[in-house]
């Protein structure tokens, strides 16, 4: 089946979408939530590969570019966390209408955190959550993003004086920063800083968590082990699966992980009514 | 300004390719096809191609960008920039199909997309101009020389630089090893040999008879290397010295022009050049 690309009308313009119809009878539907900034670009090929494989297995997939990202309307400087959640609501509504299925959310990195956060407050719970290498702490993630600016400054011969703390201070004082070519506003930085991925998962929503590791001998990363145990204790039906492969969202060259694609398709095939 | 964007899908052989057209309300007859190089898809590093397309369209030029087979949203197996002629031809065909009034195209590319454009442009009469930003003409020797001269030369011996990188958890040992390899490469080849890549690029430029815009970043090894290659060859100097070639130098800018002021400058130069002929 050929994917359909279109612009979905939304607040302040339109969102670029790619819809992958299910081959044969549709068994479920997923909305893909992309990661942040350059990670979205590096992982575009993997998202397309997995979306096509899911569609071939009977799971319809909608990819949506969030406001200010990819081919969607707006500047990155216009982006806000709550507006991104509205984009997810619009994407889910479209998917529900088109497929007649209750859609789930499939998120990569910060996209997984957005999916978790959206699910907590949504009027209608997503059918399930597929998390690829989820970011669980917004403040830590912001720190890592700001380090890109420090690294660039140092390569430029700058001292990088004050480090991340100085950059956070500038943001808190209302300054907009350019980080790795992206215009980071104080508003979006504050949004990210306040995110707590460890909060309870929306009740009744099953979670399939894929953690990418360098090789098959690796143990579950401690943070993932702690968090998944915590959520299970709170009653979430959660599967945590380690998949050896490249960190395709931040490799210099475009990387693919056939193992992660296969594991994701298999996870959706396992339970009967799938996504 | 009412700019319309259209999601595109078209065939290249058995595969579907995906792209976006940014169409102005009163489109010029000359459109720009943004060719995407390096490990990027059609939005470009830090969305530079999305923003460039919108900027060009705001100035009246229809702009299209797309993913090669195997990149971004497009189907098919990945391929490198030396094997994308069919993808470019299919994209240009589709550009003419979806943009009424289009008479000719300019191919715009960064890095190895600029090299791919040089290979392709002379063979397609619809291509009236080419805009090249930091063309990729990498050879081991040229890279080593450019790196030593323009980068490590300033900092390799500054201990505080390495200490700072170490605190930022950079791979200092790996960087030192790669610097050492570059020293060895530069020392081992007193005169850089012309590579088949740069020869093919030069032949492509000679074969193409349209307008050329060459933009080089001031703080980019790829640009330095291309400039060095051109300066060291009478044939390149003849080609680049011709009146049909417009050259621009972007002081301080990195390879992808990652600051907004640099991106805006590149878009302005492109629009001004498009208006000038």
Encode A161-200 in three state secondary structure.
CCHHHHHHHHHHCCCCEEECCEEECHHHHHHHHCCECCCC
Q: Check CB contact under 8 Å for B7 and A154.
A: no
Alpha carbons B264 and B266: distance in angstroms, whole number? 5
Angle at the Cα of B150 (from B149 to B153), degrees rounded to 5?
60
Alpha carbons A97 and B129: distance in angstroms, whole number? 46
B39 has a chain A CB within 8 A of its CB: yes
Question: 10 Å Cβ neighbour count for A148?
Answer: 15
CB-side exposure of A171: number of CA atoms within 13 Å? 23
Out of A42, A151, A181, whose CB is closest to B168? Answer: A151
Q: Which residues are CB-neighbours of A224 under 8 A, at least 6 positions away?
A: A209, A211, A240
pLDDT of residue A154: 76
B225-264 residues touching A, CB cutoff 8 A: 256, 258-260, 263
Please tell me the least confidently modeled range out of B57-66, B152-161, B210-219.
B152-161
> A13, B27 in Cβ contact below 8 A?
no
Q: Check CB contact under 8 Å for A44 and B41.
A: yes
Highest mean pLDDT range out of A248-257, B10-19, B221-230?
A: B10-19
Alpha carbons B150 and B221: distance in angstroms, whole number? 8
Interface test with A, best of B43, B63, B266 (most A CBs within 10 A): B43
**SS3 breakdown of chain B: % helix, strand, coil, rounded to 5?**
50, 20, 30
The arithmetic mean of pLDDT across residues B196-221, rounded, is: 95
Alpha carbons B250 and A29: distance in angstroms, whole number? 47
Alpha carbons A136 and B161: distance in angstroms, whole number? 33
Output the six-digit token pair for B271.
């629009």
The mean pLDDT of chain B is 86
Give the residue on A whose Cα is nearest the Cα of B16: A2
The C-alpha of A202 sits at a distance from chain B's nearest C-alpha, in angstroms, of: 31
> B263, B257 in Cβ contact below 8 A?
yes
> B78, A81 in Cβ contact below 8 A?
no
pLDDT of residue B276: 97
> A238, A232 in Cβ contact below 8 A?
yes
> B72, B91 in Cβ contact below 8 A?
no
pLDDT of residue A157: 72
Out of B168, B256, B263, whose CB is closest to A150? Answer: B168
As a residue count, chain B comes to 277
Output the six-digit token pair for A262.
């296969």
pLDDT of residue A168: 95
- The pLDDT tens digits of the residues spanning B146-185 come to 665 554 444 444 445 545 555 554 444 455 455 555 555 5
Set of chain B residues whose Cβ sits within 8 Å of the Cβ of A41: 40-41, 43-45
Q: For residue B193, what pLDDT band results from cuts at 50, 70 and 90?
A: very low
- The pLDDT tens digits of the residues spanning B95-110 come to 999 999 999 999 999 9
Question: 10 Å Cβ neighbour count for A216?
Answer: 10
Counting one residue from chain A and one from chain B, the pairs whose CB atoms sit within 8 A come to 94
- The pLDDT tens digits of the residues spanning B121-157 come to 999 999 999 999 999 987 666 666 666 555 444 444 4
Alpha carbons A175 and B276: distance in angstroms, whole number? 38
Which stretches of chain A sit within 8 Å of chain B by CB? 2-7, 14, 16-18, 37-38, 41-42, 44-45, 48, 52, 63, 69-71, 75-76, 147, 150-152, 154, 156-157, 159-160, 178, 180-183, 252-254
Alpha carbons A13 and A160: distance in angstroms, whole number? 38
- Paired residues of A87 in beta bridges: none
Set of chain A residues whose Cβ sits within 8 Å of the Cβ of B154: 157
pLDDT of residue A271: 61
Question: 10 Å Cβ neighbour count for A102?
Answer: 17
The C-alpha of B46 sits at a distance from chain A's nearest C-alpha, in angstroms, of: 5
Set of chain A residues whose Cβ sits within 8 Å of the Cβ of B20: 16, 71
Out of A48, A160, A181, whose CB is closest to B164? Answer: A160
Closest CA to A45 of B43, B47, B88: B43
- pTM given for the model: 0.90
The single-letter DSSP state of residue B82 is G
Q: Is B178 helix (H, G, I), strand (E, B) or coil?
A: helix
pLDDT tens per residue across all 275 residues of chain A? 799 999 999 988 999 999 999 999 999 999 999 999 999 999 999 999 999 999 999 999 999 999 999 999 999 999 999 999 999 999 999 999 999 999 999 999 999 999 999 999 999 999 999 999 999 999 999 999 999 988 887 777 776 678 899 999 999 999 999 999 999 999 999 999 999 888 999 999 999 999 999 988 888 999 999 999 999 999 999 999 999 999 999 998 999 999 999 999 999 987 655 44
């Amino acid at each position: 089946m050929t994917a359909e690309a279109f612009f979905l009308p939304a607040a302040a313009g339109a969102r670029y979408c790619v819809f992958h119809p299910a081959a044969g009878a549709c068994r479920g539907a997923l909305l893909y939530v992309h990661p942040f900034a350059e990670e979205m670009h590096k992982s575009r090929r993997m998202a397309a590969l997995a979306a096509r494989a899911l569609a071939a297995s009977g799971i319809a997939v909608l990819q949506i570019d969030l406001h200010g990202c990819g081919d969607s309307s707006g500047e990155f400087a216009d982006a806000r966390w709550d507006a991104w959640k509205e984009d997810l609501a619009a994407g889910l509504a479209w998917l529900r209408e088109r497929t007649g299925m209750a859609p789930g959310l499939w998120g990569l990195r910060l996209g997984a955190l957005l999916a978790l956060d959206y699910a907590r407050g949504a009027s209608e719970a997503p059918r399930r959550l597929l998390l690829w290498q989820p970011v669980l702490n917004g403040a830590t993630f912001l720190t890592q993003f700001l380090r890109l600016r420090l690294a660039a400054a140092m390569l430029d011969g700058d001292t990088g004086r004050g480090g991340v703390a100085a950059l956070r201070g500038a943001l808190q004082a209302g300054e907009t920063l350019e980080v790795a070519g992206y215009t980071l506003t104080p508003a979006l930085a504050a949004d990210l800083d306040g995110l707590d991925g460890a909060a309870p998962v929306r009740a009744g929503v099953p979670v399939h968590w894929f953690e990418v590791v360098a090789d098959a001998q690796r143990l579950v990363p401690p943070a993932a082990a702690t968090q998944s145990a915590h959520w299970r204790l709170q009653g979430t039906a959660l599967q945590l699966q380690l998949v050896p492969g490249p960190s395709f969202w931040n490799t210099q060259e475009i990387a693919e992980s056939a193992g992660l694609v296969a594991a994701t398709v298999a996870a959706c095939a396992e339970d009967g009514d799938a996504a | 300004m009412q700019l319309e964007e259209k999601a595109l899908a078209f065939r290249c052989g058995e595969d579907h390719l995906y792209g976006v057209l940014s169409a102005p309300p009163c489109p010029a007859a000359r459109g720009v096809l943004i060719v995407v190089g390096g490990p990027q898809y059609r939005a470009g590093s830090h969305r530079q191609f999305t923003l460039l397309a919108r900027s060009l369209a705001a100035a009246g030029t229809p702009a299209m960008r797309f993913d090669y087979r195997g990149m971004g949203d497009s189907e098919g197996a990945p391929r490198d920039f030396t094997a994308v002629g069919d993808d470019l031809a299919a994209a240009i065909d589709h550009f003419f199909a979806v943009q009424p009034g289009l008479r000719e195209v300019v191919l715009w590319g960064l890095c190895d997309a600029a090299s791919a454009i040089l290979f392709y442009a002379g063979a397609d009469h619809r291509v009236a101009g080419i805009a090249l930003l930091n063309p990729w003409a990498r050879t081991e020797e040229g890279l080593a020389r450019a790196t030593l001269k323009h980068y490590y030369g300033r900092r390799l011996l500054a201990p505080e630089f390495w200490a700072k990188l170490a605190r930022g958890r950079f791979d200092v040992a790996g960087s030192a090893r790669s610097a050492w390899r570059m020293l060895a490469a530069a020392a081992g080849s007193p005169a850089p040999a012309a590579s088949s890549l740069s020869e093919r690029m030069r032949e492509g430029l000679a074969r193409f008879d349209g307008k050329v815009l060459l933009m080089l970043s001031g703080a980019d090894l790829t640009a330095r290397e291309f400039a060095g290659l051109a300066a060291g060859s009478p044939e390149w100097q003849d080609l680049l010295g011709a009146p049909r070639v417009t050259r621009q130098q972007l002081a301080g800018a990195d390879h992808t022009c990652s600051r907004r002021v640099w991106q805006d400058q590149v878009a302005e130069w492109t629009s001004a050049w498009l208006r000038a002929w």
